[in-house]
């Protein structure tokens, strides 16, 4: 994400993230939402705790989304992030990683698209 990106949505409560970001379509990134639903939101709430979500508009028009969750089983932060061109629908990137909360070190990373 570039420093010239404009923040268009920031969710810090799961209820507003779910209602506005997902149900009202403010995230506007179907591929991201599918991965989010299939792999993260399908986990029990006791396992995956929502922390934050940011939605940015880049200078070149790309939409960048990042969500952070805390995994109580692994004791890591799980970040899902990606970017998509809303004009043609092309996904530029989509990846998930795990961050050790005590060291801020990436302990797992996987490119999904």
| Domain residue extents for the chain | 6-111
CA dist., res. 104 & res. 57, Å (int)? 26
What pTM was computed for the model? 0.89
**Per-10-residue mean pLDDT, the chain, length 113:** 84 96 94 92 90 94 95 95 93 96 96 92
* CA dihedral for 35, 68, 44, 24, sign (positive or negative): negative
What pLDDT shows up at residue 59? 84
What pLDDT shows up at residue 39? 87
């Amino acid at each position: 994400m570039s420093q010239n990106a404009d923040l268009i949505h920031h969710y810090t409560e799961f209820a507003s993230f779910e209602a506005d970001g997902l149900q009202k379509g403010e995230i506007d990134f179907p591929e991201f939402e599918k991965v989010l639903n299939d792999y993260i939101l399908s986990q029990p709430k006791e396992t995956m705790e929502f922390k934050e979500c940011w939605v940015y508009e880049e200078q070149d028009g790309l939409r960048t989304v990042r969500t952070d969750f805390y995994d109580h089983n692994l004791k890591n932060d799980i970040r899902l992030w990606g970017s998509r061109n809303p004009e043609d629908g092309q996904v530029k990137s989509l990846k998930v990683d795990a961050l050790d909360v005590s060291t801020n070190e990436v302990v797992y990373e996987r490119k999904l698209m």
